Amino acid sequence: MPDEAKAELYQCLAATAERPVDRTPSRLLDEAQAVADDLRAIDDSAVVADRAGVVVELLSKIDGMGDPETDEAVARARELTEALATE
């Protein structure tokens, strides 16, 4: 499941790149997407948990963005990163 979760996490965050998002949340989403991209190649569970924690922190700084599809993708990304951070 971790590999599938890492791939889905990246896909959720990549999907937000095409959505109308304000500048600050966009920057945070871009940074979270970059970390999620790196996560896909990491096999060490401790490193995965640590990097997922970074994504959790970045996403925690984002409130609703007024775009239902983006809000949904970010909510799913939060679920995935929280699960990865505790594995």
CA dist., res. 71 & res. 35, Å (int):
19
pLDDT given for residue 1 in this prediction: 57
pTM of the model: 0.88
26-61 confidence digits (pLDDT tens):
899 999 999 999 999 999 999 999 999 999 999 999
